[in-house]
Amino acid sequence: MKQPEALQQGSKVFKGQGARARGFLDEFKEFAMRGNLIDLAVGIIIGIAFGDVVKSLVNDVIMPPIGRLLGNVDFSNLYINLTSKHYDSLAAAKEAGAATLNYGAFINAVINFLIIALVVFVMVKQINRFMRKPPPPPAEPTTKDCPYCFSTISIKATRCPDCTSQLEEAAPAPQ
């Protein structure tokens, strides 16, 4: 079977592109294996897993006691029905395809966000504490005391401006 003319021309265009494609793939491989990208991927995976843990914490540990204190309220089932028909639960309204405003799910999402934001804040604060920069080294002295009158003079001075004593040698200039 003969190839269409467009495919024949296309194959001519891509001849000689193999070396360039290999160079591109090598460059991509170098980029993908760079340490920061691997660290980012690991961070995203851990973040997703952490999000699931926080979601379970909010839905299964925090919200049930709060709902109990508020009169056995199930926050995940709180909604406003935007249709004229009555539904006994959010699941029944969704099954019927009714338009609903799910403010209970929004409350859960806000609490999830606040917990994750708090944990990230504490982690960044601790990391910054451990990564504090050491104090800068003390600056090179720019003055010295005259050995005769003990007045403060420039480190470059060869004669004291107060007692006019000749100083033995000038100290090397700070760099």
In this prediction, residue 35 carries a pLDDT of 66
Q: How confident is the model at residue 175 (pLDDT cuts 50, 70, 90)?
A: low
More confident of the two residues 112 and 174: 112
Residue 37 has pLDDT above 80, yes or no: no
114/15: higher pLDDT: 114
> Please, which residues bridge with residue 101 across strands?
80
Of the spans 52-56, 95-99, 171-175, which averages the highest pLDDT?
95-99
What count of other Cβ atoms lies within 10 Å of the Cβ of residue 69?
9
Q: How far apart are CA 130 and CA 25, in angstroms?
A: 39
AA letter at 152: T
Please state, for a pLDDT cut of 70, what percent of the chain lies above it: 83
Taken as a whole, the chain contains a residue count of 175
Hey, what are 35's tokens? 């340490």
What string of DSSP letters covers 83-121?
SSS--SSHHHHHHTT--EE-HHHHHHHHHHHHHHHHHHH
Measure the CA–CA gap between 163 and 161, rounded to whole angstroms.
6
- The residues near 140 (Cβ < 8 Å, ≥ 6 apart) are 174, 175
pLDDT digits (tens, 9 = 90+) for 111-147: 888 888 888 888 888 888 887 777 888 888 889 999 8
Whole-structure pTM value = 0.48
Calculate the CA 14 to chain-centre distance: 42
